[in-house]
Structure 1
Amino acid sequence: MVTIKQMAEMLGVSTTTISNVIHGKTKEVSKETVKRVNELIEACEYVPNINARNLAQNKSKIIGLAIKPRQSKYKKTTKDIFINELTSDIEDYVRKNGYYMMLYISEDIYEIINSVSSWNVDGLILMGMSTDDCIMLKQKFKKPMVFIDSYFDNRVVDYVNVGLDDVGGCHDITKYLIENGHKKIAYIADNCEGCDKYRYLGFRNALIESKIMISDQNFILIQSERNKLGASLEDIFNASKHFTALVCASDYYAVLIMNYLMDKGVKIPEDISIVGFDDNIYAQIVRPHLSTVHQDISEKSKVAVEKLFKMIENESLSEKNTILPTTIVIRNSVKKIAGK
């Protein structure tokens, strides 16, 4: 392959001139020279040695995205529509900044640390991390890190996170049900940790504010494992007979439950109202259309990437923990109970 030095000799210009044109620094290069250099680059099919350039700049130009799913979700992590959209948006923003993104998914925090360290990434975006994971990362990984949707206890006092008003969002959608006359409401999730825990707190707060009795029966756990899902949905069908509305921790579970109940002859929202959280494509294509909590995934991705690049460039952050707002989207899955 032709080198920059050889092209400079062929055109009778300096290697600096060739390098400037290759990297778009053409302010001090004549238009005619720029044209000649570009024509030669095309004719020689010259491809810049990015690795050599990055090595000279002491940068890999790689951003790592590491996801630590729970064991029950490991095999279908990238099939999750939220993860899929978030990953796609992060990659888009990373690429627009002239970097490359590498994705690593593992249930083992040791594997994650070893892999991203071997990549020599310039920065790291992380999802699904526990407090212990964060402590270990801070001990082992010394480059910029931004967490997404993370809730750590007081053992971690200094970290950068982009999250969501999970409490407020679930509070507002539950309040909407109450305003439509519903008092027998259940919350459905596959765990009570992280985001799902705080969404449950929002659900609980709305009931307490309205002086509605709440007990353990108001929380229904859905088993997401393939060999348990059928039985779990049957349990939800039986439990749903005691409620007039269900608040689901995600649109995915809301639509899954809607379809199962309708297959059982349950009419939605005539027999039971259902709402979700996320406002993804599922909410828009299911019938009836799903009322839900909207979050801006693209904005979440953008803010996370912007924070990371500021840290890479040693710029100060105006805030380390960004909580993005939510809004409720009213569609057709909620019935107004008569007399309310």
Structure 2
Amino acid sequence: MITIKEIAAMLDISTTTVSNVIHGKTKEVSPETIDRVQHVLEEYEYVPNINARNLARNRSKIIGIAIKSRKGHFAEQNLIKDAFTSELLGAIERAVKEAGYFLMIYISDEITETLNYIATWNVDGLIVLGLMNDDCIQVRDKCKKPLVFIDSYFFEEIMNYCNIGLEDEKGAYEMTKYLIDQGHRRIAFVSDSCVAVERERFHGYRKALKEAGITYHDEDFLFLNNLEDENENGLKRILNLTKTYTAFECSADFHAARVINYFHDHGVKVPEDASVTGFDDNIYSKFVRPQITTVHQNPELKGRLAVELLVEQIKNHDTAKKKVILPVELKIRDSVKTIK
């Protein structure tokens, strides 16, 4: 690739003049010189060396995003297929681009591996998604860059970082309460795990049952594995329990869609024979029939806030750390039957 120095020598002008034309600082450059420089730039398809410029400014203009996948989670093998994660990443990518940065992503179920790779990127800041206490402490100890966490859970007394979360417990509480208000007393909770956001949603479910005087039993938690053969077994078990439970409250729209489709394939009508609810209000909730009654969250807002808070830290290292909890909203659609 031709360099600024070579262009200057070719045209017998200073490197400063060439640089000014490249960067649009042409107030004191003659139109003839601008045309000559631009002609050479086009002829040699010159591309500015952004890395060299950023290194001179002691910054990379790269924002990293580290995502921890979880064994057994329904999107373990390809996390980007998860509708919530893909929508969140899309929002982050757009906000990063608008802020003048570049995005690099690393996904692993081992946080040590993730941190080792990210250390080679020389990022200006890092967004971390879905970590728990011990992993968060590792990030704190090994990463000295500006940080923003999303949907992460750590000991507040030892972690002072920006964390953007959601009213997960409240959302599940309100959904369970809605089912109870519709006459349901036998409500199962369907999830692929009981950690992080799923744990908070499970707590909200339990809280609403307790307030209504409904006794929870361990068998009311129905585990749905992401592995194809085990998932089939989990769906069969749920199908066999449609005479025991009137409603199946799922921790994600993905699970609710799978349950509804499986019921349909085996002659169980939703909501006539069994009610099903979800959480997230993503594309799954609107594509299945009946459309899913679910808990709405806004991943677009979550992603943009994360980037805004991170860029603020990058530009001003003394920025106060914030904990942001975004609101939820019930979306009542067609998958719940009222029992009189």
Q: TM-score, normalised by structure 1?
A: 0.91
Q: Is the contact made by 2:242 and 2:273 (CA closer than 8 Å) also made in structure 1?
A: no
Shift of 1:270: 0.5
Q: Is the contact made by 1:167 and 1:200 (CA closer than 8 Å) also made in structure 2?
A: yes
Shift of 1:13: 5.8
Is 1:16 the counterpart of 2:16 in the alignment? yes
| Higher mean C-alpha displacement, 119-128 vs 8-17 | 8-17
Is 1:237 the counterpart of 2:239 in the alignment? yes
Deviations 1:181-232 (A, max 9, x none): 2222111111111100111111122222223232223322222222311111
- 1:157 aligns with one of 151, 154, 159: 159
Identical pairs, percent: 47
- 2:135 aligns with one of 133, 136, 158: 133
Q: Where do residues 286-301 of structure 1 align in structure 2 (5 Å cutoff)?
A: 286-301=288-303
Corresponding pairs, count: 337
Shift of 1:325: 0.9
Shift of 1:142: 0.8
Deviations 1:166-187 (A, max 9, x none): 0111122222222222222111
The root-mean-square deviation of aligned C-alpha atoms, in Å, is 2.2
Shift of 1:304: 0.6
In 1: Cα distance, 2:32 partner to 2:166 partner: 52
- The equivalent residue for 2:58 is 58
The aligned amino acid for 2:95 is Y
Q: Where do residues 326-337 of structure 1 align in structure 2 (5 Å cutoff)?
A: 326-337=328-339
In 2: Cα distance, 1:25 partner to 1:188 partner: 61
- The equivalent residue for 1:194 is 196
In 2: Cα distance, 1:61 partner to 1:315 partner: 16
**SS of equivalent to 2:114:** helix
The aligned amino acid for 1:112 is T
In 2: Cα distance, 1:258 partner to 1:34 partner: 68
In 2: Cα distance, 1:33 partner to 1:82 partner: 53
Deviations 1:54-100 (A, max 9, x none): 21111122111111111234322222222222222212221222222
Shift of 1:5: 3.6
In 1: Cα distance, 2:320 partner to 2:304 partner: 16
Deviations 1:237-294 (A, max 9, x none): 2233211111100000000011112222111000111110011111111001111111
In 1: Cα distance, 2:115 partner to 2:190 partner: 33
| Higher mean C-alpha displacement, 70-79 vs 116-125 | 70-79
**SS of equivalent to 1:119:** coil
Shift of 1:30: 6.5
In 1: Cα distance, 2:196 partner to 2:307 partner: 21
Residue 38 to residue 266, structure 1, CA distance change in 2 (3 Å): same
Q: Is the contact made by 1:131 and 1:156 (CA closer than 8 Å) also made in structure 2?
A: no
The aligned amino acid for 2:89 is T
Structure 1 stretches lacking a partner, 5+ long: none
The aligned amino acid for 1:118 is T
In 2: Cα distance, 1:285 partner to 1:112 partner: 35
Residue 5 to residue 152, structure 1, CA distance change in 2 (3 Å): same
In 1: Cα distance, 2:140 partner to 2:330 partner: 36
In 2: Cα distance, 1:24 partner to 1:240 partner: 68
- The equivalent residue for 2:276 is 274
- The equivalent residue for 1:84 is 86
In 2: Cα distance, 1:140 partner to 1:316 partner: 19
In 2: Cα distance, 1:154 partner to 1:144 partner: 18
Residue 229 to residue 116, structure 1, CA distance change in 2 (3 Å): same
Shift of 1:10: 6.0
In 2: Cα distance, 1:315 partner to 1:330 partner: 43
In 1: Cα distance, 2:29 partner to 2:178 partner: 65
- The equivalent residue for 2:250 is 248
In 1: Cα distance, 2:80 partner to 2:33 partner: 44
In 2: Cα distance, 1:171 partner to 1:196 partner: 13
Q: TM-score, normalised by structure 2?
A: 0.91
In 1: Cα distance, 2:33 partner to 2:239 partner: 70
Shift of 1:43: 3.6
Shift of 1:164: 0.8
**SS of equivalent to 1:65:** strand
Q: Is the contact made by 1:123 and 1:144 (CA closer than 8 Å) also made in structure 2?
A: yes
**SS of equivalent to 1:63:** strand
